[in-house]
Structure 1
Amino acid sequence: MKRNSTEMKRRMSGRWLSAFNALAPALSQAMSKLGENVPCPVAGGTDGFRLFKDANFTGGGVKQSLRVIPEGIDMLMWVNDWSFPEAYDALSEWLDGKSVRPGPVYLPKPKEVDETSLRAWLNRIWGESMPLTETLSYPARAYFSYRRVLRAALRSKDIRFHPNLNYKGKGGVLLGTYPAILCLVRNNAGSPVGIHRTFITKGGLKVEMEEGYKTRKLTPTVSKESKGRVIRVMEPVAGVMGIAEGLETALSVFEARSFSVWPGLSNTMLQSFVPPTGVHTVINFLDKDRNKASENSAVIVEQNLTSRGIRVFNLLPPIRILDSDRKGVDWADQWCRDPKGFWELDKLLRDLSVHAA
């Protein structure tokens, strides 16, 4: 039997949600919140998956920062772990009114959080921290100096230093106590919801962790239902601001051009970002990833912002990816390797009539 995917897509337009309800129950939460981030139906987590608002006509969505899943057949293949023939034949049988065995449901139950205790802990470690200008904050200043972004880091009140912060592994086991750079993470309303931690040595280098543990960690967050997770490094100027995935990318752009950029810590978190009132233009400083993750995510970011009447410009660093660059390059690499490579940003800011802060 010849399987005509083009004809199948035509027949399924306007029916995908009904088909998903019958064939892919793992998508039920995403279907109830079209256009919003929900836990990934395959990997779990908190907000790593989204069905597009037009999913009933396309069947499309996005899986975290890995890739866009543009069409319903691809979606069924991914979420149910089906081959193309299995997905196509299941749709054919469903359209013919036949009984079809649905795919699996393996959505983990979200972990319950004691928000009162979490708030107390977050307030305590933030209260124990100090400004980067303090003498004891030398490790943090050294860390940012190595990356040529110290001037930018010193400008932000939401970046501080903790001299002795516990690092806990699985099951709450204490793995060590280290100096740490703390960044206050805020939601779209500007309210603090968590703290991003970078564990460093007394000399300002990243701590070498055991395999499976990361040097950078975001704490659990309070107010989980609120949208947006960003570090408000500097205030926007004249209604124009930038966003980026990483802290050092954001600081590098400010160091180079005194232009305010807020890091969202991950591509997934950026997808729900909404700027404060008065911002009419957002420049997205993309990473140049080998797997195109940042560029794929930028499609969702742009859809979210333009639907609110906000102009979006996407900029990729002009430097090329070297063989030694495992994942790709970003604007922090641009700043360190070729500081003259910000010409496209210069032109854009001139066109927008934005002056340096």
Structure 2
Amino acid sequence: MNDRPDPSARTRLIAPATRRGGGRRPVSPPVERASTLLNDDPAAMRDEGHGPVYGIEDLSAARGLRAALADLEGAADAWLVPSGLAAVTVPLTALLRPGDEMLTTDALYGPTRRFLNRHLKPRGVAASFHDPGAAVADILAALTDRTRLLLIESPASLTFELADVPAIAAACRERGVLTVMDNTWAAGLAFRPLAHGVDVSVQAVTKYIAGHSDLLMGSIAVSDPAVGRQISETIEDLGWRVSPDDAWLALRGLRTLPLRYAEQARSSLVVAEWLQTRPEVARVIHPALPGAPGHDLWRRDYTGAASIFGVVMNGGSEAAAHALMSALELFGLGYSWGGFESLITHETGQLAFRRATPALQGELLRLHVGLEDPADLIADLETGLAAWRDAIR
């Protein structure tokens, strides 16, 4: 009898690389660049038992990445698509039909909202939006007889509201409503949606899993094979696959995900707590901060936190926000997050796309904390805040 405890995710993500069997081999699978795959026997050309039939199917690196992601998510299967946005749009395309309705948060990721309005709406799928901070009962009250799917984004984009995912998923399952959750913030590591009753867990591999800001990719994970079949067939019909080089890079990044995620979370809290003490800052929006909205849900359901958060300034203007950003040397000015580098963006303008614009005390900045020394990042932000003060005088 083996009395060893089940290994942690940190161990499980590495163990397949060192598993014995198959003779001498590299630690990482080879990068196989191929469109045509040759056969020795005409009868075997369409036999999938011998492996992929054509290069559009996943080769060694992609198959290894899919297996590792399925294990991380606790999924029956996981698929790869060319971007994080595709990870959201593929399940919606696969699971919704003309005449269906879907419900989601008003704080939805901007490109996903655009897809709902520009692609699904003309094809007969209606989307409605609930308040990002709505109670579970209010979210469920917004479901109708035609609601087929609830898209969960928790924490929500830019304003980081947390949802009671287990309660929402359970209630939707009772009503026959499918749930899809964008879980990029938790990276499949700090929260496992499928284990909490969600039907489909998606994330942008671009962010924490890849970890080096050098590729675009998304993942889709399911526990129900029937739901998975619809998603798999949609991916096949659309012809959406990832390159072997990107799959190899993402698999390499995945091996160190737990260490990077934990260290960046630690540093982000150091920076966030310091910002809370600053008179230029009205509030910091970070679910892992004690007293923050949703903090109790975070403590109950999550084992870690992302290193991205919002900073609401005390008043100010776009010009002041840009002055602060321009004075920084360690924070890059660029979109995305989850990489090794720290980033800052100005997000006040994005809030205008919501049906109900949140009332904030001032300009909204979004910070992503990388792997730099937090003391150095704080010193950099000191310089930025000085530029802010000069700009608002």
Higher strand share: 1
- With CA pairs under 8 Å and 6+ residues apart, which has the higher RCO, 1 or 2? 2
Shorter-chain TM band: under 0.3
TM-score (norm 1): 0.28
Higher helix share: 2
